[in-house]
Amino acid sequence: MPNVPAMLFMLASAGVILALGVMHLWFTFHGNKLTPRDAALQARMREISPVLTRQTTMWKAWVGFNASHSMGAILFGLIYGYLVLMQPEMLFQSAFLLALGFVMLAGYVVVGKCYWFSIPFKGICLSSAFYLAAVVMSRIQV
């Protein structure tokens, strides 16, 4: 069984991502946190279709992208949280799962640096630091 510090760091990493995803999903469908400050812009987004298709509007695409982004973060948090609690040996012995988690978090860090504001970016950096600490600690015999 992997050591307890490794498991706690992985659980913290998964928990941060899960919390960010849940908050983002909540903000997507409740309140005005993810709406434009300019009401006219939101009205135009409800009218205009992307070049790709006329079957949706920019507003529907915006809401859909935010919702699916949230669901991806929630899925990551739930899967890695489950694995560390129920199957820690499998998680920490799987180069594939550890690499997949790292690549996913690294991708979030890059996207966060380029496109997000400071709070979610700091959250994803914290989750990534916990994740890396978990992997390092899992390699140390306690």
Instruction: For residue 34, give the 3-state DSSP assignment.
Output: coil
C-alpha distances in Å from residue 107, one per residue of 8, 11, 115, 119: 23, 20, 12, 17
Give the model's pLDDT for residue 142. Answer: 63
Tell whether the model's pLDDT for residue 141 goes beyond 80. no
Q: Which of 43, 90, 88 is nearest to 62 (CA)?
A: 43
- Whether 2 has a pLDDT exceeding 80, the answer reads no
- The whole-number average pLDDT for the span 55-81 is 97
- Residue 103 has a pLDDT of 98
Can you give the pLDDT at residue 124?
97
Q: What is the mean pLDDT of residues 57-71?
A: 97
Q: Tell me the HSE value of 23 on the side-chain side, using a 13 A CA sphere.
A: 10
- Please give the Cα distance from 117 to 111 (Å, whole number): 11
**Which sequence spans correspond to the domains of the chain?**
4-138
Closest CA to 80 of 6, 139, 30, 24: 6
pLDDT tens figures, 113-134: 999 999 999 999 999 999 999 9
pLDDT for position 119: 94
Q: How many CB atoms lie within 10 A of CB 4?
A: 11
Q: What integer pLDDT is reported at residue 98 of this predicted model?
A: 98
- Name the band, by pLDDT with cuts 50, 70 and 90, for residue 1: confident
> Does 38 score more than 70 pLDDT?
yes
**pLDDT recorded at residue 87:** 97
Percent of the chain beyond pLDDT 90?
96
What does the pLDDT read at residue 97?
A: 98
Half-sphere exposure of 42 (CA within 13 A, CB side): 9
Q: What would you report as the CA-atom Rg of the chain, rounded to the nearest whole angstrom?
A: 18
